Amino acid sequence: MSLYSQVIAALAVLFYLTAVFCAVDAIIRVRTAQGAIAWALSLLTIPYLALPCYLIFGRNKFAGYLEQRREIAHETRELLQRTHNALDDYLIGYSDELPLYNSLYNLSRTPATSGNRIELLVNGQATFKSILDGLETATDYILIEFYIIRDDNLGARFTRILSQKAQQGVRVHLLYDEIGSRNFHRTRMCKQLLKTGVEVAAFNTTQGRRNRFQLNFRNHRKIVVVDGKQAWVGGHNIGDEYLGLNKRRGFWRDTHARLEGPAVLGVELAFATDWRWATRKPLEIQHQLEPPRCGNSDVLVFASDPASTLEEAGLMFHQVIVEARYRIWIASPYFVPDRGIISALQLAALRGVDVRLIIPDEPDGPLVGLANWAFTRELLPAGVKLYRYQGGFMHQKVLLMDNKVAGIGTANFDNRSFRLNFEITLLVHDEHFCVEIEEMLEDDIAHSHRVTPEEIADKPLWFTFATGVARLFSPIL
């Protein structure tokens, strides 16, 4: 046997041993028995195909980030200790009136606070006007984080203001996801921001020796904070398409929220954690230590990530569904839930809760669309109402539970947001705000088509088979 043949044989043996090791790892670590079996069998039978897929898609915990978060957690505790006296009058403890906050208290890394004001921002024009106007008022610092940042007309408007503020001495920190904005570092926008003193960093999920292949994780958060007094959270990224200017997409239906009050600190802390991972340096800003009472909204800032022991976003959605007494409405562009969520929705509808789901009629990709139909087939017999929005592409991530709690954020209703993405959601206890959300969602429903069991029954056999195949990919869609 030639040396070349020996090398090839040795590499083949090494490759297969690595596949065996990963099969054992899958059996130990993969969340569900079905997933563990699927990975183990594929790794042992078709290792040359399965091993690269497992290295990229098989992990559901974000290695390395947890160690960094321990460091930022120490800084966070110091900050919370320094702000405790200022926040003491706003902190919400355990109470019978807010059972949802009670159950999520141990999952959230920031306390729920009262004394907040929240403003509903419907669609891109209102959202970006509010954000850009807010940036103009900055005198101390700006924190800005988006999954996608485009170098287009809207990006130019952000560049102009951020550069101007940085030259005026305002500390500007901009964070973007390296996969969602994969070419941003090469753009004129990025170069202009760096030239004028804006601190720019990529949230590199692949940094660190153990993380070279973890391309499956995303920082999906959209955060803007100005001087610790105002924060914006919601579904919009920075790009002209979010203003409905993309001809292929057409009208873009999305929702954001503007926040004032003590809860802004929770949004800041989520950004600070991400900034620490991206730069390996603490966020050096002077936090607003005495937040004023701005309104009557109680807000829990729920930041979730794949580094945690528990699947935080999935548990949050599950708890909202379980605690609903007469209504749970959810709008999401990606509806690819897991078995636990499906069961919770079915049981809620069976006990008489008005369960409504609003999804786009034209989803973002054929696999997602087919998977939507697969889950719709299971939910309708239980009495769940499913509406397909036809007024354009719906991208909002909104929930409404009874007339007590509304949620606006970045988390989709899918396994990726539940387990793989860094997300942030504002859970707001305010009856007036809930009425605003109700009116907004009723308008969306008026522009939607309600799916019926007869419509599904009329689908051809090939379509039923295709939806079943798409469902197999649901853990990574």
- Examine the residue annotation and report whether 220 is marked as an active-site residue of this protein: yes
Annotated catalytic residue: which of 61, 165, 173, 220? 220
Residue 361's nearest CA partner among 440, 279, 253 is: 253
Look at 181 and 99; give whichever has higher pLDDT: 181
61, 222, 318, 404: the catalytic one is 222
pTM here is 0.86
Percent of the chain clearing pLDDT 90 (strictly above): 47
User: Do 433 and 408 fall into the same domain?
Assistant: yes
Among 274, 338, 361, 402, the one annotated catalytic: 402
pLDDT value of residue 291: 65
Give the pLDDT score at 68: 63
pLDDT in tens, 214-252: 566 788 999 999 999 999 999 999 999 999 988 777 899
φ/ψ of 194, rounded to 5, equals: -65, -40
Q: Calculate the dihedral angle through the C-alpha atoms of 343, 347, 349, 352, rounding to the nearest 10 degrees.
A: -170
Q: Return the pLDDT at 106.
A: 77
Would the pLDDT of 290 be above 70? Answer: no
Q: Is 227 a catalytic residue?
A: yes
Q: Is 168 exposed, middle or buried (0-12, 13-18, 19+ CB in 10 A)?
A: exposed
Q: What is the pLDDT of residue 69?
A: 61
| E strand spans, 380-466 | 385-389, 393-394, 398-401, 405-409, 413-414, 421-429, 448-450
Euclidean distance between CA atoms 75 and 80, whole angstroms: 9
Q: What is the mean pLDDT of residues 438-452?
A: 96
Check residues 358 and 293 and name the one with the higher pLDDT: 358
CATH number for position 209: 3.30.870.10
Report, as an integer, the average pLDDT of 275-279: 86
71-78 long-range CB contacts below 8 Å, 24 or more apart?
71/276, 72/272, 72/273, 72/276, 72/282, 73/109, 75/272, 75/276, 75/282, 76/109, 76/269, 76/272, 76/273
The number of beta carbons lying within 10 Å of the beta carbon of residue 108 is 18
Domain that holds residue 324: 312-476
Residue 402 falls in the annotated catalytic set: yes
Per-residue pLDDT band for 182 (boundaries 50, 70, 90) equals confident
User: Is position 99 within any domain?
Assistant: no
Q: State whether 427 and 382 are in the same domain.
A: yes
- Percentage of the residues of the chain whose pLDDT score is greater than 70: 79
Residue 386 bridge partners (DSSP): 357
Read off the pLDDT band of 289 (50, 70, 90): low
Residue with token string 């760096």: 194
Q: Give the total number of structural domains in the chain.
A: 3
Task: Name the pLDDT band for 86 (thresholds 50, 70, 90).
Answer: low
Instruction: Write out the two tokens for 199.
Output: 């601190």
Q: Domain check: are 155 and 290 in the same one?
A: yes
pLDDT of residue 248: 79
Strand ranges (E), 269-326? 297-304
Q: Is 290 a member of any domain?
A: yes
pLDDT at residue number 378: 86
My answer on whether 285 and 316 are in the same domain is no
Domain boundary at 265, 295, 325, which?
295
- 445 vs 81, which has greater pLDDT? 445
Q: Are residues 404 and 458 in the same domain?
A: yes
Residue 260 pLDDT level (bands cut at 50, 70, 90)? very high
Phi, psi of 131 (to 5 degrees): -65, -50
Same domain, 318 and 392: yes
> What local confidence, expressed as pLDDT, does residue 251 receive?
92
134-163: average pLDDT: 96
List, in sequence order, every residue forming a beta bridge with 252; answer none if it has no partner.
393
Tell me: pLDDT of 30 over 70: no
Residue 419: the pLDDT is: 80
Q: How confident is the model at residue 165 (pLDDT cuts 50, 70, 90)?
A: very high
pLDDT-derived band at 444, boundaries 50, 70, 90:
very high
Residue 258 lies in a domain: yes
Q: pLDDT confidence of 309, banded at 50, 70, 90? A: confident
Is 97 part of any domain? no
Q: Which of 276-290, 317-331, 363-377 has the highest mean pLDDT?
A: 317-331
Would 46 be classed as within a structural domain? yes
pLDDT mean across residues, the chain: 84
pLDDT confidence bin for 390, thresholds 50/70/90: very high
Q: Write down the residue that tokens 């989709």 correspond to.
A: 412
Task: Examine residue 256 and state whether it is found in any structural domain, yes or no.
Answer: yes
Of residues 56 and 119, the one with the higher pLDDT is 119
Up-side HSE of residue 150: CA atoms within 13 Å toward CB?
13
Identified catalytic residue from 61, 165, 256, 397:
397
Task: Name the active-site residue from 256, 287, 318, 395.
Answer: 395
Examine the pLDDT at 451 and tell me if it is beyond 80.
yes
Mean pLDDT for the stretch of residues 72-80: 61
Which of 342, 302, 471, 330 has its CA nearest to residue 394?
330
Asked if residue 301 belongs to a domain, the reply is no
Residues 281 and 359 in one domain: no
Instruction: Report how far residue 44's alpha carbon sits from residue 278's, in angstroms, rounded to the nearest whole number.
Output: 36
**Does the structure show a pLDDT above 70 at 375?**
yes
| Residue 331 and residue 242 share a domain | no
Residue tagged active-site, from 227, 361, 414, 430: 227
Q: How far apart are CA 36 and CA 475, in angstroms?
A: 12
The mean per-residue pLDDT over the stretch 380-401 comes to 94
- pLDDT greater than 90 at residue 29: no
Look up 25 and say whether it is catalytic. Answer: no
Span 349-375, average pLDDT: 83
pLDDT (tens digit per residue) in 138-151: 999 999 999 999 99
- Residues present in the chain in total: 477
| Token pair of 409 as six digits | 């954020």
